[in-house]
Amino acid sequence: MSPGPQSYQQVPIVECGEALVELPVEFARQTPHPYAVLGAPYGQGTPFALRTGVVQKLIAAQNFLQARHPELRLLIFDAYRPVAVQQFMVDWTFADLVARANQQPEELSVEQKQAFYQQVYQFWARPSLDPATPPPHSTGAAVDLTLLTEAGTPVAMGGDIDEIAPHSYPDHYAAADLPAERQFHHLRTLLRSAMTAAGFSQHPREWWHFSCGDQMWAFHSGQPVAHYGGLVDF
């Protein structure tokens, strides 16, 4: 039920060999980690890791944000994701969508399964082990994050991370009339400004997802090659 390679996965990868390292303590983390709570198979690894060059850019993004808004900082929701975890979350999301529709997986027709998987793959990358088409998070170059207040409260951004819904698109509230929705757009713009100033590229369908150096980044930045390929282990 997996789709074929996406357009961004046609970008060639020239692996630079940078190490995957745990994020420094200066970054706030979403704990307990939501996928680990569900039982995702991380083994002895940590989801709070990125390539060394990406970590440096994330530090630059947080510095950019705090120089302009000292009352805010970044909250890391998820970073490195082994392919096994990607597969686990694709399976879990499929089952969750089916359950929300009050249906049973074993009773679905082929067409119904395809329709549910189509929803899943709008937001979850294919859990591919092909070195030419790694999921973005499995490269150690992608991060899911949001904003956090000085008091340690996550900022309301107009939708939850990983939510399969139209309001997950980054500019969903761009033309909003309601003050609260205009604030959501303002905050999403703040987050995007900090991340893009540091060299990241935003996922076109996820306000929370940014990457630097992977295929998606190369595709949306007009770069000829990606610098980070898939990693087998941490």
pLDDT tens-digit readout, 72-92: 999 999 999 999 999 999 999
pLDDT tens-digit readout, 119-149: 999 889 999 999 999 999 999 999 999 999 9
Average pLDDT, the chain: 95
Cβ neighbors of 98 (< 8 A, separation 6 or more) are 104, 105, 108, 116
User: Do the annotations mark residue 162 as ligand-binding?
Assistant: no
State residue 232's pLDDT score.
73
State residue 233's pLDDT score.
59
How does strand 28-29 pair with strand 72-78?
Answer: parallel
State residue 234's pLDDT score.
52
Higher pLDDT, 192 or 233: 192
User: Do the annotations mark residue 227 as ligand-binding?
Assistant: no
Token pair of 1 as six digits: 């039920």
Token pair of 227 as six digits: 């610098």
pTM for the whole thing?
A: 0.94
- Structural domains of the chain, ranges and CATH numbers in brackets: 26-221 (3.30.1380.10)
Active site residue: 15, 106, 163, 206, which one?
206
Asked whether the beta carbons of 195 and 209 are under 8 A apart, the reply is no
How does strand 72-78 pair with strand 209-211?
Answer: unpaired
State residue 163's pLDDT score.
95
Q: Residue 213: left (phi > 0), alpha (psi -120 to 50), or beta?
A: left
State residue 6's pLDDT score.
82
pLDDT tens-digit readout, 13-72: 999 999 999 999 999 999 999 999 999 999 888 999 999 999 999 999 999 999 999 999
Rounded to 5°, angle at Cα 18 from 12 and 22: 125
Contacts 24+ apart (CB under 8 A), 33-42: 33/78, 34/77, 34/78, 34/162, 35/78, 35/81, 35/85, 35/88, 35/89, 38/88, 38/89, 38/92, 39/88, 40/85, 40/88, 40/89, 41/82, 41/84, 41/85, 41/88, 42/82, 42/85
User: Do the annotations mark residue 185 as ligand-binding?
Assistant: no
Taking 60 as the threshold, does the pLDDT of residue 224 lie above it? yes
- 206 catalytic, yes or no? yes
State residue 192's pLDDT score.
98
Rounded CA separation 194/201 (Å): 11
